Structure 1
Amino acid sequence: MLFAKLLTVVATLLLPCVAFASAASGGPHLDGALLSGFWVIPFACMLLSIAVFPLLAPHFWHSHFGKISMFWALCFLVPFTIKFGFSLALYETLHALLLEYFPFIILLLALFTVAGGVRLTGTLVGTPLVNTLILIIGTALASWMGTTGAAMLLIRPLLRANAHRKHKVHTVVFFIFLVANIGGSLTPLGDPPLFLGFLQGVAFFWTTTHMLVPMLFTVTILTGVYFLLDNYFFGKEGRPTPEGLDASNTEKLGLEGKVNLILLLGVIGAVLLSGMWHPHVTFDVYHVPVELQNLTRDVLLLVITGLSLKLTDDESRIKNDFNWFPIVEVGKLFIGIFLSMIPAIAILKAGKDGALASVINLVTGANGEPVDVMYFWLTGLLSSFLDNAPTYLVFFNTAGGDAVHLMGEMASTLLAVSAGAVFMGANTYIGNAPNFMVRSIAEDQGVTMPSFFGYMAWSFGILIPTFVMVTFVFF
């Protein structure tokens, strides 16, 4: 009781600090125009921790990454509370958790659990042709079952197929490029930015028709580069033959846990439901509007997760090398990312009134016309380090925010925003949700994955030149 009273007194004293930021509804609301670039420092330190600690202190990081994540979140929240008041800090924290983090992690948990219950039996041999076919299949599936769903479904079979290979890091890296990112280009089901566009009024198949050619162009380049690279490494390894590898294996090719394929359709249905069903029922949690359709989606996803655990044979999951560490790691790291990222997103949303006004001004020409090249690169580069979904929404609104107009006269601009958000999520481990999970699963299977900066060396050397070609051809 004493603590509650003290908290009330502190909140009352600090509340005037947020009077300038009151929303029309009467609740506190952060005005990003009032934030300087210094507020982004905790987020930058969070990213540097992910990049540096696994290299300099791997054992310490493995044991304490959750504490480090929360430390940087508090490094933002404590000064923010002192400066702007308890009311605004509580609102922004609840907003980030209820509307962004919890839906994000619940969806990942469902896809991770369901896809992890499907086991490909028998033996695939990781030859360059087989590996390339797996990448192509995963890329094709990603637009219809989500990049996370496709990645979680195929990463373990791919790793098992290449268990005998000496060089396999490049295979996982290209898997992240293609299956975990670029493959999600064709529908709102593929990647969260496109789903946000769908909620804003972009037609479901608009992305299919307009993103198909840029996606095929990009995928053709990357799969071609991968096939040549894997052939080179395969030759260096002495080209191991399938006969020698299959001699001790009598298990036939097939699928275990087929019920999870039905549950996967349930996950897709739950996500679609939240975008197409509008009961206009909202629950306010300290001024944060939690809509019934989104709450229903999250409950359905948790039920589906429970059904997958109940209906899938435990022995099959063990043979599928399933464990909970990847989702635990993502959950702990991304709560720090989502909270420390609050000021960065607010500054971006402030547009020309914010600290990043110079960045926003780059997308508009002297005569007020949109500069598609800059929309592509700025959306993409910011999506590489920030959550690509809100970044998409920022530039969607910067371009006018009218879906009908953007799909018509400004179709090239909407294409630039869409392609930038989806394609360049592959530039870093944190650019898109499944990137980190794929890395974690690969490391759990004994693959020594590149560091944060090491992975960026791969993306800078391969993806950036590819995106330069995409720029010249399409924008």
Structure 2
Amino acid sequence: MLVGNCGGVLSPLGDPPLYMGYTYGVRFLFTFQYLYKIFFVVNGYVLLVFTVIDLANAWVYRREKQRDLYPMPATELRGQTYTVTPLDDTQMVRRRQSVDPRYDLSSATTVRLSWRGIHNSLFLMLTIVAILLKGLNIPRPWPQYVQEGILFGIALACLVIDIICNGLTPTQWYKKHYSTRIEPVAEVIVIFVGLFFTMSAPIALLSNLNVVLGPKLLFLLSSVFAAILDNAPVYISFAASAAARFNITIDESVSSVDGSSSGFLSTFFITYQTDAVATMRAISAGSVLMGACTLLGNAPNMIVSLMATRYTYRVRTRQVTRAHSDGQEEYVVHHIQKVGFVRMLLIACATLTPIFIVVTMLMI
């Protein structure tokens, strides 16, 4: 919820729909100026909810651990004498098997912090700088596709440097990182390619739906659609529908002196400033925040979920060994329970619905 959605409402760098709005002409600092209150309220609420959940889990863990160490109530132990007898191997195995796996930390591995991979932070900073410079028109408005070319070059350089620093061949790097880096992203790409084809009809309907909707209804409807479809195309569809009320089509742009052009939302803001601010504020908040309701609401939702099941420090369900044809190395992948679609839907909706009502009634 925080990493893939709610935490990114403050900047076009943080969430795909806001970045798409920025590419179509929304000012880079628009979200900082008009969504900062919603950012602090929603994220503060989500952090509070999960702090309470963590505290409850910690209390349950301590209680179960105490019960495992002292099977009898403490009141029955008072005044009694007892001796401590070490358990043999068979008794230890039986005891571990009787412990609820949710509270058994015997399979936990030691986590060691290191500087390995710190060079990747350089490429992250370069990515942020490239987006910021384009957003702030430094040194002047960028021509089309220049930023995309720079970002592709940064990604390619990051991959090459990572292979060199790890002393691997491209094939070895691919085999080593397939299950944790490549497979999750590839799975999401396949799913969302299919999703984009299937949701072309509702997006076309939204884009040509020229009806008058207030900010509250825009927030409500964009939230609902963002929860069940990918939030980036939902954002653009509602933005196009809102601009169509003022006879602004998605193909319109504002040309500058140097020949570069901005998107149709730039025309919307220049021509109808007040309406554009209220409209895009509601659409931005709805698309970003409620994209957390399902795994399909935002591509990062599924990527975070899939990678979390691979980067785990505890063995929960099964173990998969990948042996390679060269016979030199084996990579063992430990999986925890995957986040199911229905489970994600129920937890996210139960968590976000109260704050969704508050934002609708008091902040939009």
Is the shorter-chain TM-score for this pair beyond 0.5, marking a shared fold? Answer: yes
Deviation, 1:274, is 6.6
* Amino acid of the structure 2 residue aligned with 1:386: L
Tell me the distance in 2 between the aligned counterparts of 1:312 and 1:268: 25
Match of 2:159 in 1: 305
Match of 2:318 in 1: none
Tell me the distance in 1 between the aligned counterparts of 2:115 and 2:240: 44
CA change 1:206–1:313 in 2 (3 A) is farther
Tell me the distance in 2 between the aligned counterparts of 1:259 and 1:415: 37
1:424 maps onto 2:282 in alignment:
no
Match of 1:439 in 2: 305
Deviation, 1:406, is 5.9
1:472 pairs with 340, 361, 364, which one? 361
1:189 maps onto 2:13 in alignment:
yes
Q: After superposition, what is the alpha-carbon deviation per residue over 1:438-472, rounded to whole angstroms, capped at 9, x for unaligned?
A: 11122233332342122111122111222111112
Q: TM-score, normalised by structure 2?
A: 0.65
Tell me the distance in 2 between the aligned counterparts of 1:389 and 1:274: 20
Tell me the distance in 1 between the aligned counterparts of 2:42 and 2:187: 30
Tell me the distance in 1 between the aligned counterparts of 2:44 and 2:154: 37
* Amino acid of the structure 1 residue aligned with 2:280: L
Structure 1 residues not aligned, in runs of 5+: 1-176, 282-290, 353-360, 365-369
Deviation, 1:349, is 1.7
1:236 pairs with 51, 60, 63, which one? 60
Deviation, 1:178, is 0.9
CA contact (8 A) 1:274 1:294 kept: no
CA contact (8 A) 2:207 2:237 kept: yes
Match of 1:393 in 2: 236
Structure 2 residues not aligned, in runs of 5+: 67-104, 244-264, 313-334
Deviation, 1:420, is 0.6
Q: After superposition, what is the alpha-carbon deviation per residue over 1:34-70, rounded to whole angstroms, capped at 9, x for unaligned?
A: xxxxxxxxxxxxxxxxxxxxxxxxxxxxxxxxxxxxx
Deviation, 1:375, is 0.7
1:374 pairs with 217, 224, 246, which one? 217
Match of 1:218 in 2: 42
Tell me the distance in 2 between the aligned counterparts of 1:248 and 1:191: 33
SS at match of 2:115: strand
Deviation, 1:296, is 4.7
Match of 2:127 in 1: 267
2:31 pairs with 207, 215, 222, which one? 207
Correspondences of 1:108-187 after superposition (within 5 Å): 177-187=1-11
Tell me the distance in 2 between the aligned counterparts of 1:274 and 1:340: 33
CA contact (8 A) 1:279 1:292 kept: yes
CA contact (8 A) 2:292 2:348 kept: yes
Deviation, 1:187, is 1.3
Correspondences of 1:272-291 after superposition (within 5 Å): 272=132, 291=145
Aligned length: 270
Give the share of equivalent positions with the same residue, in percent: 28
1:333 maps onto 2:191 in alignment:
yes
CA change 1:337–1:295 in 2 (3 A) is farther
CA contact (8 A) 1:267 1:304 kept: no
2:209 pairs with 324, 341, 351, which one? 351
More helix as a share of residues = 1
| 226-235 vs 270-279, which moves further | 270-279
CA change 1:250–1:456 in 2 (3 A) is closer
Deviation, 1:339, is 2.8
CA change 1:312–1:421 in 2 (3 A) is farther
Tell me the distance in 2 between the aligned counterparts of 1:406 and 1:438: 38
Tell me the distance in 1 between the aligned counterparts of 2:115 and 2:173: 10
Tell me the distance in 1 between the aligned counterparts of 2:5 and 2:151: 23
Runs of 4+ in 1 over 6 A off after TM superposition: 313-319
- Superposition RMSD in Å: 3.3
Tell me the distance in 2 between the aligned counterparts of 1:409 and 1:248: 55
Tell me the distance in 2 between the aligned counterparts of 1:250 and 1:374: 47
* Amino acid of the structure 1 residue aligned with 2:2: L
Deviation, 1:409, is 4.8
SS at match of 1:441: helix
CA contact (8 A) 2:226 2:291 kept: yes
Structure with max Cα Rg = 2
Deviation, 1:413, is 2.4
